[in-house]
A and B are shown apart, each in its own frame.
Chain A
Amino acid sequence: MKLTLAEVRHVATLARLSLTPEEEALYQSQLSAILDAVEQLRALDTEKLEPTSHAATADVPLREDVVEPSLDPQKALANAPATVGTFFAVPSILE
């Protein structure tokens, strides 16, 4: 299955990745090859099968809802590229 350049660009936009023209060409051919390789799954009749979304074999119970101290805001903000007071700061969203 051959991906078009337009499809590569659309996927990159969905993934918020800016690609160079060289990367677009590279991923166009490499992703096409990978998608060709996964085509073999089509040979299997899976219509009546339930999907497996995880591999947990034990029960996954909920824990008690107990109030506990959470991360100190200064610690939580310490790695942020930009902060304002106790907030993360981001570039402007609207023009």
Chain B
Amino acid sequence: MSAAELTDLSILELSKQLRERALSSEEATRACLQQIEKLDPKVKAFLLVDAEGALAAARASDERRRSGGAEGVLDGVPVALKDIMLTEGVETTCGSKILKGFIPPYDATVVRLLKQAGSPILGKLNQDEFAMGSSTERSAFFPTRNPWSLDRTPGGSSGGSAAAVAGRLVFGTLGTDTGGSIRQPAALTGTVGVKPTYGRVSRYGVIAFGSSLDQVGPIARTVSDAAALLQVIAVHDPKDSTSAQNQAPDYRANLEQGVKGLKLGLPKEYFLPGMDPEVESAVRDAAREYERLGAQVKEISLPHTKYALATYYLIAPAEASSNLARYDGVRYGLRVGGSKGLAEMYFQTRAQGFGPEVKRRIMLGTYALSAGYYDAYYLKAQKVRTLIRRDFASAFEQVDAIISPTSPVTAFKLGEKTEDPLAMYLMDVFTLPCNLAGLPGASLPCGFSASGLPIGLQILARPFDEALMLRIARAFEREHDFFRKKPALA
């Protein structure tokens, strides 16, 4: 099997071959490394490749296999991580110059869980700086390109995580999602992305952006693969005080049960004038497909949707301005200046270490929290957030899940939206209400545009109902072969 054929396997297909000893983890890991060497100069998904570490872990997995100790689905399956996750001894930058050279002294909980499951970790993936962006063009290092069309963005902020999976550089990845940063790049690259319920996955050791919104989740090529990855990381963690204590169910147990008898809501506010007509028609086709499969699809209303963008762009920057206060040149990362004292060192370090989008959000968040404006902006946004949560709570009294477009457009060109922050913020208009409400959300491919760009379908479910959400996603996936299509370059 060539490297290109091998890396085209799904996680579960590879896992089966490892179990049957048809392939070794070392072979699978070397195939990924070959694909990275061949394709990543074009895609630019990786900030760092840890060939040595991944191969050592692969050989350890093969040794466990020989001695009968390998049991888990992920044992020997190579993965890669968004660079927002701390990896002990391996540089972690969060896409920022301010953390260039930072070598974490410990693993994030999700990293520890993947290592315990036996996954070799191939390296760290590009992202918008501190996860602030929707195109991965805000990385301090270089933009990542969409494997389906190299002059287009893969979305963001987990653009490296999505592009690496779509480009067949790796079998699966982890990203983070604060306002759509897993689902929007999954939609733009034709992959499956899952943002779990707030609290489902530990954020310990994951660099904080908007702490009331951030979640870690998988990106993979199939729903079952995403479910397998989620299973490993959806574990209570006493080191994250927001980590849920309820035990995660078996996410793959009921995946094939279909949608017969389920009620799905199609929110009318998620079809906007100005959105890409090909996206709208693919999503409406998907809704009809669900009806054909036995679900009842009804139009619903989430009346405060139009306020979600403004609410999010007050709350997330406010939390970010507070979280990013820690980058002060004292304990880690860049330090600039200091000859004129401590205060001057703070000002210079942060001025030179942060990029333009991060500074913009720190400024916006600081303003929204400042004396005289807190009530008018931050508190107001928190109250509107209550209305947005209530919209979903009443919708879920009528329906079991909500389906919608993930992104209003398909992959856009590099540079197309970087001049106008508000145009870029609009890319998250359908994904961020889910974060404000703390719900689980997924994106899966539901078609391609005439020019061959993937289109994403979003599924939202009740808190902690990931199993049902994945089952609904799988029911659609089973009827199509979108996930079998691969970009020409791969």
Contact = CB atoms under 8 A, between A and B. Distances in A.
B17 interface: no
A80 B381 CA distance: 37
A7 to B, nearest CB: 8
Contacts of A33: 421-422
Contact of B335 (A59, A76, A78, A82): A82
17 contacts: A15-B321, A16-B325, A16-B347, A17-B351, A23-B359, A27-B363, A34-B313, A41-B311, A51-B385, A52-B382, A52-B383, A52-B436, A57-B463, A59-B245, A60-B241, A90-B345, A91-B339
Q: Give the top 7 A-B pairs by smallest Cβ distance, nearest first.
A: A55-B438, A51-B382, A91-B338, A79-B332, A81-B335, A46-B383, A18-B347
Interface in A68-95: 71-72, 75-76, 78-82, 88, 90-93, 95
Given A34-B313, A46-B384, A95-B341, A15 B362 contact: yes
A28 B380 CA distance: 22
Interface centre among B328, B363, B387 (most CB of A within 10 A): B363
Contact of B307 (A10, A35, A41): A41
A52 to B, nearest CB: 4
Contacts of B382: 51-53
B46 interface: no
A6 interface: no
Interface of B: 101-103, 105-106, 197-199, 211-213, 238, 241-242, 244-246, 304, 306-307, 309-311, 313-314, 321, 325, 328-335, 337-339, 341-348, 350-351, 354, 356, 359-360, 362-364, 366-367, 370, 377, 379-387, 389, 421-422, 435-438, 463-464
A57 B197 contact: yes
Contact of A52 (B304, B307, B385): B385
Contacts of A80: 330-332
Contacts of A52: 382-383, 385-386, 389, 436
Given A52-B383, A55-B213, A79-B102, 13 more contacts: A3-B367, A11-B363, A35-B367, A38-B377, A44-B384, A49-B383, A52-B386, A55-B435, A55-B436, A57-B198, A58-B245, A90-B342, A90-B345
A76 B331 CA distance: 8
A82 B313 CA distance: 36
